[in-house]
Chain A
Amino acid sequence: MNITVSMTVNGKPVTAEIDPRTLLAQFIRENLRLTGTHVGCDTGQCGACTVHLNGHAVKACNILAAQAQGATLLTIEGVRGVDGGLHPMQAAFREHHGLQCGFCTPGMVMNAIDLVQRHLHPAEEVIRAGLDGNLCRCTGYHNIVKAVQAAAARMAADTTAATLKQGGQA
């Protein structure tokens, strides 16, 4: 028997009638046609399907869409910088050659953004441990780590600038 699910995806409310077996990754790709979220292993290991569920990075292939009822979801399509262009994490992946074929990249970027939001200045070990659940089979991890470090510095600077601006107005 089909069920109805509603959630907010990249700022827009969505409602759909689905088979309860529908995985969140399937829902995002097939119902919403947001194919930036990739399905690599479909066994909860590779992390290519990582999205933010209520602000936390999760693997969309390892959760039912129904479990996200009422949630706020962010996929790679909803990620952007303060100026509307590339997010600092995306820009850093490009600048530091943190990708080759690009298949793992959306998941890497989504997890890395969540990681940096929780560890403002992550040490290399924190980044490597934090990206444990994302597999890259071509670039290797050195440039990905460099990209995350560079993005973290940029995100911290943006946060400081935003705080100063708010402070100045107050």
Chain B
Amino acid sequence: MYAFAYHRPATLKQAASLLRKTEGAKALSGGQSLIPALKMRLADPPVLVDLGGIAELRGIRLEGTTLIIGAMARHAEVAAAKEVMTGIPALAQLAAGIGDRQVRNLGTLGGALANNDPAADYPAAVLALDAVIHTNKRAISADRFFKGLMETALKPDEIITAVAFPLPTRAAYVKFRNPASRYAIVGVFVAETAGRVRVAVTGAASCVFRVKPMEKKLAGKFAPEAIAKVRVAADKLNSDIHASAEYRSHLITVIAQRAVTAALSGK
């Protein structure tokens, strides 16, 4: 690791001011991606601002038809929370499948979103559920939040405080995971909320994306066969040692259909 100055503020205000003070300063949440990046010297922030001591970033609650999850909620907390299991079971299931249990005991929702790894699970849920990302400055819609490869709409001194998920009528997430890394080779989140259907794909391209032709078909008929012939062109998809772009293109249709089936069965 390159040397850095470490701060552990107790309030959001202090954290934002510390991030503002030094160019390149970085917020640290669970650290399950940032610590490995620091160890490999892939990142060299002069200042680390640990968000672990800020109580206002915690908590999970249901408010009417919205599930609100604090940015520092650990994956294991989300997976086990009654509010999530009853409100959006697909989200609890997704959280239970991130990394391994030790990673889930540290990794956070806010950290995963701010990192925006192209193969992370949470971005697919946030985009398909049309969630709103709340920060210390504003509220950002999911469609405007994810900008590209590990890039988001967040400003350098902007901190995610919570994510508000509207409760869907039905939803499911199916991941075709790499057995070693547990990251998605292709992961598809399908959600129907207030009569609108959204389909989000992770793992397949440089950034999570929606498949609007599938959404249109599913809005007409919410059934796996409705999207059997919808293919995402391979030319914008990833090719790597795990899977070719053509394979991922085929996989998206297969996994999306499985997600629809799962959403229909409510499991």
Q: Could you tell me which A residues sit within 8 Å of B by CB distance?
A: 1, 3, 19-21, 23, 42-44, 47, 50, 53, 56-59, 62-64, 66-67, 69, 111, 114-115, 130, 132-133
Partner of B36, one of A3, A44, A115: A44
Most buried by A among B6, B50, B99, B106: B6
Say what secondary structure dominates the interface of chain A.
Answer: mixed
Q: How far is the CB of B179 from chain A (nearest CB, A)?
A: 9
Assess the A56–B105 pair: CB atoms within 8 A. yes
Known contacts: A43-B36, A43-B39. The answer to whether A67 contacts B102 by CB under 8 A is no
Q: How far is the CB of A40 from chain B (nearest CB, A)?
A: 13
Assess the B103–A44 pair: CB atoms within 8 A. yes
Which residues of chain A come closer than 8 Å to B103, judged between CB atoms? 44, 59, 62, 133
Q: A42-B39, A69-B52, A132-B101 are in contact. List 12 more A-B contacts (CB 8 A).
A: A20-B4, A44-B32, A47-B100, A58-B105, A62-B32, A62-B36, A62-B106, A63-B35, A64-B28, A66-B6, A111-B102, A115-B101
Assess the B6–A3 pair: CB atoms within 8 A. yes
Say what secondary structure dominates the interface of chain B.
Answer: mixed
Which residues of chain A come closer than 8 Å to B100, judged between CB atoms? 47, 132-133
Q: Compute how far the CA of A56 lies from the CA of B36 in the bound complex, rounded to whole angstroms.
A: 20
Q: Compute how far the CA of A115 lies from the CA of B101 in the bound complex, rounded to whole angstroms.
A: 9
Q: How far is the CB of A48 from chain B (nearest CB, A)?
A: 11
Which residues of B28-84 have CB atoms within 8 Å of chain A's CB atoms? 28, 31-32, 35-36, 38-39, 48, 50, 52-53, 76
Q: How far is the CB of A148 from chain B (nearest CB, A)?
A: 13
Closest to B76 in A: A56
Which residues of B97-149 have CB atoms within 8 Å of chain A's CB atoms? 99-103, 105-106
CB<8 Å pairs between A and B, sample of 16: A20-B3, A20-B4, A21-B1, A44-B103, A47-B100, A53-B105, A56-B105, A57-B105, A62-B31, A63-B31, A64-B35, A67-B31, A69-B52, A69-B53, A115-B101, A133-B103
Judge whether B5 is part of the interface by a CB distance below 8 angstroms. Answer: yes
Assess the B106–A58 pair: CB atoms within 8 A. yes
Q: Compute how far the CA of A111 lies from the CA of B53 in the bound complex, rounded to whole angstroms.
A: 25
Q: How far is the CB of A41 from chain B (nearest CB, A)?
A: 11
Q: Compute how far the CA of A53 lies from the CA of B101 in the bound complex, rounded to whole angstroms.
A: 13
Q: Compute how far the CA of A57 lies from the CA of B50 in the bound complex, rounded to whole angstroms.
A: 20
Q: Compute how far the CA of A103 lies from the CA of B152 in the bound complex, rounded to whole angstroms.
A: 41
Q: Compute how far the CA of A53 lies from the CA of B74 in the bound complex, rounded to whole angstroms.
A: 13
Assess the B32–A66 pair: CB atoms within 8 A. no
Q: Compute how far the CA of A19 lies from the CA of B4 in the bound complex, rounded to whole angstroms.
A: 9
Q: Compute how far the CA of A69 lies from the CA of B53 in the bound complex, rounded to whole angstroms.
A: 9
Which residues of chain B come closer than 8 Å to A69, judged between CB atoms? 8, 52-53
Closest to B100 in A: A133
Partner of A66, one of B50, B105, B106: B50
Which residues of chain A come closer than 8 Å to B53, judged between CB atoms? 69
Known contacts: A47-B100, A64-B31, A133-B101. The answer to whether A20 contacts B106 by CB under 8 A is no
